[in-house]
């Protein structure tokens, strides 16, 4: 079985009573694989087709007979109660308030006096355990010596008694009679033994399966529901659901110190990706990565021993796998599959190294919410493909696929035609890019407190959801995902250890004090020194929003000297701000007639006349550029995703990298069009990212062409 080179590079979902049409679709779309979906099983007749058969597998859920008998091996959460203000010297904390008792069950088996923590949130101090009692009937904790008018919380250990993804589907689709999946923790010996045995048995029982798709391994990202069964908090990167007394004890042995409940609860922020990570949290992440990858390897080995391939779904129980972490490769996976909503979500998958193949599931799902009479599913398909294609041409997936019920899609012949075209275009792109040497105009590094491990993941809270504080930064990563630049994600140690000389431009973008702007990391003099020297010696620095922000030593943006702008936060209102004049024209904004800063930032001002102001409205600077030694900087107050903002960022990168002369190489004059060029072949592609007809001049390596592109068209041009 050679999946990677089998030909079709496309996976279809299978369905009962749909054999003839499945064969037809396989031929038209050149599908070479068929998969089952959540909640469905492939019929035997489909398994017998000449196709690679993917079958999903759950390791730590969906084995409820075992789980029910071993409830003390359930997975855990560390959770924080509501913040409760004492008004007298006794205080009752009803700590299950706001939690869903079908998901969360307080763990009284592990002594609460050892594993729980009451914190005075007015002082930040832990309340001595002797000063509180717990009540297992009412799920309350009573403080006997509360300080009136202090705010208190309880950090408590709870069992997770329902898998959150299943729960979400269950509640959303109002399922009846379906058993609730109880997640068990393979850190416990019995559970681990069971997991291995169950997989071994399953492999034997599924001889026709070629590819086992793990969904995923052990611990679900943080997803906790409220008392109404609605999402309470969600964090794609959260490790809250991977904790257990055993993990903490094991960690202590390995790292020499004990993690407290508060190390997980983190004031109620649960070590969100927006928090500058603590050393303790990074240690715990590493500890869990080692554990998860070790154990996952054992399961993958079983799959391989059974003569099958093993892939994982990037989602659900992916915690600890960390495809961009240093332990991931140890698992020995053959592939990774994931859902593609845009350029960034595509690159999250396609940039993973060391795999035989990556596979993206495209939209729309063949579900009735899109495939109903009177609706045109092509609209979503075109939009999804056009967004994803920008990124695909820079770093292709090896395979694409679809999900849902093919019988639904089959009722829309125009859609079937369109996907046939998409599939052909995908295979053409894959072939050319895999076998060519793509042109890159610059190397860009995105700097934040996470770096490589969060490659393509910055600014994300929950997958595919728009957040008010994030979208004005997500435009950067989305723009970069389809830009003709090499992109790296670096952290402050990468700055401290000496900036890689191959980097042309460093981008620092985010809200003040978050992991993305860097917060306290910028107080390290070495960070400041190395960054300034990088720019002074000729590097480019791009700041978005509140880059390098930390109010200290007389400045808010610690890189204000490099950026030439700072933010007035009140203290220097007494200093007159004289620099308000926009430059008449500038390389960066040439041809861009209007700006969208998204949420933007208030009260940005230029330091002096050496700062070039490119946009100034409402008494504040929105865009600025500045020379700094041999280098240059660029500042913009926000950059939500749009084709215009993508063009603005592309021009800014060329400007700060002193590569203005190289702009007209594999470039289109119209901002709606991007170009894929090669350094080793005379062919290039012009890609219309818009749904409009575009006439434009495009530049190849040496020549230019006047071309017309149909809406969303990708056109190959031979330059000789």
Q: Where are the alpha helices (DSSP H) in 81-188?
A: 112-115, 164-172
Asked if 718 and 678 touch (Cβ cutoff 8 Å), the reply is: no
Minimum distance from residue 665 beta carbon to a copy of itself (Å): 33
Q: Which of helix, strand or coil describes residue 67? A: helix
Which residue, among 369, 440, 398, 350, has the nearest Cα to 3 in the 3D structure? 398
Minimum distance from residue 613 beta carbon to a copy of itself (Å): 17
* The two three-digit tokens of residue 641, written as one number: 């995703």
Minimum distance from residue 530 beta carbon to a copy of itself (Å): 8
Handedness of CA 530, 532, 538, 543 (dihedral sign): positive
What does DSSP say about strands 140-143 and 104-106: parallel, antiparallel, or unpaired?
unpaired
Minimum distance from residue 557 beta carbon to a copy of itself (Å): 12
Minimum distance from residue 348 beta carbon to a copy of itself (Å): 18
Q: Look at the block and give the residue holding tokens 């279809």.
A: 12
Choose between 33 and 447: whose C-beta lies nearer to a copy of itself. Answer: 447
Choose between 153 and 215: whose C-beta lies nearer to a copy of itself. Answer: 153
**Among the options 316, 334, 342, 511, which is catalytic?**
316
Measure CA 527 to chain center.
26
Minimum distance from residue 73 beta carbon to a copy of itself (Å): 27
| CA 53 – CA 73 distance, rounded (Å) | 33
Asked if 233 and 224 touch (Cβ cutoff 8 Å), the reply is: yes
| CA 401 – CA 422 distance, rounded (Å) | 11
What does DSSP say about strands 125-126 and 211-214: parallel, antiparallel, or unpaired?
unpaired
Choose between 99 and 699: whose C-beta lies nearer to a copy of itself. Answer: 99
Choose between 149 and 372: whose C-beta lies nearer to a copy of itself. Answer: 149
* The two three-digit tokens of residue 387, written as one number: 């967004």
Side-chain-side CA neighbours of residue 465 (13 Å):
9
Long-range contacts, stretch 278-287, CB < 8 angstroms, 24+ apart:
281/239, 283/251, 283/255, 284/239, 284/251, 284/259, 285/239, 285/320, 285/322, 285/325, 285/453, 287/247, 287/250, 287/251, 287/254, 287/255
Q: Where are the alpha helices (DSSP H) in 605-642?
A: none
| CA 61 – CA 181 distance, rounded (Å) | 6
Minimum distance from residue 601 beta carbon to a copy of itself (Å): 10
Choose between 375 and 528: whose C-beta lies nearer to a copy of itself. Answer: 528
Minimum distance from residue 365 beta carbon to a copy of itself (Å): 24
Choose between 439 and 522: whose C-beta lies nearer to a copy of itself. Answer: 522
Choose between 109 and 500: whose C-beta lies nearer to a copy of itself. Answer: 500
Minimum distance from residue 558 beta carbon to a copy of itself (Å): 8
Q: Is 316 a catalytic residue?
A: yes
Question: What is the C-alpha end-to-end distance of the chain, expressed in Å?
Answer: 40
Q: Which of helix, strand or coil describes residue 150? A: coil
Minimum distance from residue 264 beta carbon to a copy of itself (Å): 13
Contacts with a copy of itself by CB under 8 A lie at 80, 83, 85, 87, 121-124, 147-151, 153, 222, 226, 230-235, 238, 267-270, 272, 274-275, 461-462, 467-470, 510-514, 525, 528-530, 532-533, 536, 551-555, 561, 568-576, 578, 599, 602-603, 619-620, 629
Chain length of the chain: 720
Choose between 302 and 607: whose C-beta lies nearer to a copy of itself. Answer: 607
- Can you give 292-345 as a three-state secondary structure string? HHHHHHHHHHHHHHCCCEEEEECCCCECCCCCCCCCHHHHCCCEEEEECCCHHH
| CA 699 – CA 74 distance, rounded (Å) | 60
Choose between 603 and 704: whose C-beta lies nearer to a copy of itself. Answer: 603
| CA 583 – CA 597 distance, rounded (Å) | 19
Asked if 508 and 560 touch (Cβ cutoff 8 Å), the reply is: no
Choose between 293 and 474: whose C-beta lies nearer to a copy of itself. Answer: 474
The residues annotated with a catalytic role in the active site are: 316
């Amino acid at each position: 079985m050679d999946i990677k080179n089998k030909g079709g590079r496309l996976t279809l979902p299978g369905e009962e009573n749909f054999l003839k049409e499945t064969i037809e679709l396989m031929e038209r779309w050149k599908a070479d694989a068929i998969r089952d979906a959540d909640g469905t099983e492939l019929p035997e007749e489909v398994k017998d087709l000449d196709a690679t058969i993917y079958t999903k597998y759950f390791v730590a859920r969906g084995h409820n007979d075992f789980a029910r008998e071993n409830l003390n091996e359930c997975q855990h959460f560390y959770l924080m109660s509501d913040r409760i203000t004492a008004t007298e010297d006794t205080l009752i904390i009803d700590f299950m308030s706001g939690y869903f008792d079908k998901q969360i069950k307080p763990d009284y088996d592990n002594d609460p006096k050892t594993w729980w923590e009451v914190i005075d949130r007015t002082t930040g101090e832990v309340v001595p355990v002797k000063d509180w009692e717990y009540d297992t009937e009412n799920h309350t904790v009573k403080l006997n010596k509360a300080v009136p008018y202090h705010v208190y919380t309880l950090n408590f250990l709870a069992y997770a008694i329902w898998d959150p993804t299943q729960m979400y589907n269950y509640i959303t689709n109002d399922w009846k009679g379906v058993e609730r999946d109880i997640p068990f923790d393979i850190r416990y010996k019995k559970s681990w033994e069971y997991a291995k045995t169950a997989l071994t048995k399953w492999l034997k029982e599924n001889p026709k399966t070629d590819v086992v798709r793990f969904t995923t391994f052990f611990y679900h990202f943080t997803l906790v529901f409220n008392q109404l069964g609605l999402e309470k908090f969600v964090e794609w990167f959260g490790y809250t659901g991977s904790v257990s007394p055993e993990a903490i004890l094991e960690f202590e042995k390995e790292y020499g110190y004990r993690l407290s409940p508060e190390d997980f609860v983190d004031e109620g922020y649960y070590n969100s990706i927006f928090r500058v990570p603590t050393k303790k949290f990074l240690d715990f992440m590493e500890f869990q990565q080692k554990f998860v990858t070790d154990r996952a390897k054992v399961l993958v080995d079983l799959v391989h021993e059974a003569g099958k391939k093993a892939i994982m779904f990037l989602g659900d129980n992916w915690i600890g796998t960390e495809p961009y972490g240093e332990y991931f490769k140890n698992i020995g996976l053959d592939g990774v599959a994931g859902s593609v909503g845009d350029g960034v979500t595509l690159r999250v998958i396609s940039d993973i190294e060391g795999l035989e193949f990556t596979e993206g599931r495209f939209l729309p799902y063949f579900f009735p919410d899109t495939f109903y009479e009177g609706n045109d599913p092509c609209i979503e398909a075109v939009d999804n493909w056009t967004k994803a294609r920008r990124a695909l041409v820079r770093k292709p997936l090896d395979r694409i696929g679809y999900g849902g019920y093919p019988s639904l899609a089959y009722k829309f012949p125009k859609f079937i035609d369109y996907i046939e075209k998409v599939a052909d275009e995908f295979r053409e792109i894959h072939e050319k890019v895999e076998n060519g040497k793509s042109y890159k105009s610059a190397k860009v590094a995105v700097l934040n407190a996470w770096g490589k491990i969060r490659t393509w993941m910055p600014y994300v809270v929950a997958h595919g959801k728009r957040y008010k504080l994030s979208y004005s930064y997500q435009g950067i990563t989305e723009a970069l995902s389809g830009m003709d630049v090499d992109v790296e994600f670096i952290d402050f140690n990468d700055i401290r250890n000496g900036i890689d000389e191959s980097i042309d431009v460093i981008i620092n973008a985010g809200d003040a004090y978050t992991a993305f702007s860097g917060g306290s990391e910028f107080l390290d003099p070495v960070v400041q020194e190395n960054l300034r020297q990088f720019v002074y010696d000729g590097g480019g620095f791009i700041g978005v929003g509140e880059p390098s922000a930390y109010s200290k030593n007389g400045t808010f943006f610690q890189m204000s000297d490099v950026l030439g702008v700072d933010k007035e936060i009140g203290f220097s209102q007494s200093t007159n701000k004289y620099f308000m004049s926009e430059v008449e024209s500038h390389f960066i904004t040439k041809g861009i007639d209007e700006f969208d800063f998204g949420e933007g930032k208030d009260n940005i001002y230029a330091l002096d006349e050496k700062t070039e102001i490119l946009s100034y409205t409402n008494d504040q600077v929105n865009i600025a550029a500045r020379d700094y030694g041999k280098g240059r900087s660029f500042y913009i107050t926000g950059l939500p995703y749009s084709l215009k903002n993508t063009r603005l960022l592309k021009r800014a990168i060329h400007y700060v990298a002193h590569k203005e002369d190289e702009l007209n190489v594999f470039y289109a004059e119209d901002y709606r069009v991007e170009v894929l060029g090669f350094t080793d072949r005379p062919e290039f592609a012009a890609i219309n990212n818009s749904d409009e007809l575009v006439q434009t001049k495009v530049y190849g390596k040496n020549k230019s062409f006047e071309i017309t592109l149909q809406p969303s068209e990708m056109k190959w041009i031979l330059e000789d």
